[in-house]
A = this chain, B = another copy of it.
Amino acid sequence: MANDENRSLTLRDVSEASGVSEMTVSRVLRNRGDVSAATRERVLKAAKELGYVPNKIAGALASQRVNLVAVIIPSLSNMVFPEVLGGISEVLETTDLQPVVGVTDYLPEKEEKVLYEMLSWRPSGVIIAGLEHTDAAKAMLRNAGIPVVEIMDVDGKPVDAMVGISHRRAGREMAKAILKAGYTNIGFLGTKMPLDHRARKRFEGFTEALAKSGVEIMDQEFYSGGSALLKGREMTQAMLERTPELDFLYFSNDMIGAGGMLYLLEQGIDIPGQIGLAGFNGVELLQGLPRKLASMDACRRESGRHAAQIIAARVAGEDIESVVELTPKIAFGDTLKRR
């Protein structure tokens, strides 16, 4: 193990140590072209002894190829996104592509910046959450000359490919199921995130479908920050004190829904008889709660897988469907009457 100077080892070092030309060393290290077993051994041995780590920067510049896929998501703490990432990794691991994650915190300008930074490394593809981006970001995506998959939403026009569910439709379906179950005094509890377009679209779809049946949301409340479970609990209490006639609560995510459920159970309220509940996402995490919250899977892992497949196929020059709408089904659980 060498490298005592503060300089990285180069192909040349391996070349000298093994007495083989740089070019052949390069071939061995990349498994390309024919190299005799003998020289191959010598090279490998030298590389290992020296502790040589190839310089991908130089390699990428010379070959004009980078096996990186930029994955741009709003947040890591949301639980939803690590699952998407899981799906992406699962597929990319079968190729020589690697995901690189960038986080935007739901801020359009930060998204633009992160995208710019990532594109400056010339990745082979981009997977980005959502269909809403700044004009500059859209322009960059269009001009990058690489496959781009927008995920987790299909209510809009993609720059290139898109994979996900329709949140408008998800909202509508849930509204229909709630009405069908006979609830009419409906409250909505959500996050105060004007920039979470998917939550917004769900809300719009929800109210729209209610309106079609002549029903209006009776009360609503939005929170930001803090523990979602706790917030759900607090908001539920506040809302029911304010509007006791409510018979259904639709939560914009499962976590606050779970908080609401725990509160109601403590109050001895009959779920789903007296009050029904539903959340969104189908997070596995919450199995193990006293009741199973009605919810709707956002097809997170699946979206990730599809997106990665599209990138992989395109990079390989294959043709592949570029618009994929996934259709989640309602999980009624124990908190929404089934009709």
Q: Is A198 an interface residue (CB 8 A)?
A: no
Report the Cα distance A27→B58, complex, angstroms. Answer: 22
Interface string of A38-64 (1 = CB under 8 A from B): 000000000000010111111011000
Is A109 an interface position by the 8 A CB rule?
Answer: no
Do B82 and A86 have beta carbons less than 8 Å apart? Answer: no
Q: Does the CB pair B229–A287 fall under 8 Å?
A: yes
In chain A between 25 and 44, which residues have their CB closer than 8 angstroms to a CB of chain B? none
Alpha-carbon distance between A218 and B143 when the two chains are bound, in angstroms: 65
Give the CA-CA distance A66 to B77 in the complex, in Å: 27
Find the B residue at minimum CB distance from A260: B288
Binds B, one of A113-121, A206-214, A273-281: A113-121
Min CB–CB distance A73 → chain B (angstroms): 11
What's the Cα separation between A89 and B101 when bound, in Å? 13
Whether the Cβ atoms of A103 and B117 lie closer than 8 Å is no
> Could you say which residues of chain B place their CB within 8 Å of the CB of A89?
103
Q: How many copies does the complex hold?
A: 2
A233 CB within 8 Å of chain B: yes
A155 to B103, CA, bound (A): 32
Interface status of A122 (Cβ within 8 A of chain B): yes
Contacts of A54 in B (CB 8 A): 120
- CB of A3 closer than 8 Å to a CB of B: yes
Looking at A56, A142, A286, the one whose CB has the most chain B CB atoms below 10 A away is: A56
The reply to whether A122 and B55 contact each other, CB–CB distance below 8 Å, is: yes
Tell me, yes or no, whether A182 is within 8 Å of chain B by CB. no
Indicate whether A76 sits within 8 Å of B66 (C-beta atoms), given known contacts A51-B140, A229-B287.
Answer: no
The chain B residue sitting closest to A116, CB to CB, is: B53
Q: How far is the CB of A311 from chain B (nearest CB, A)?
A: 17
Other than A6-B145, A56-B121, give 10 A-B pairs with Cβ distance below 8 A.
Answer: A1-B143, A3-B143, A51-B140, A57-B122, A58-B61, A77-B79, A77-B82, A228-B288, A229-B288, A230-B288
Q: Could you tell me which A residues sit within 8 Å of B by CB distance? A: 1-3, 6-8, 51, 53-58, 60-61, 66, 76-77, 79, 82-83, 85-86, 89, 98, 100-101, 103, 116-117, 119-122, 139-140, 142-145, 227-233, 255, 259, 262, 266, 284-290
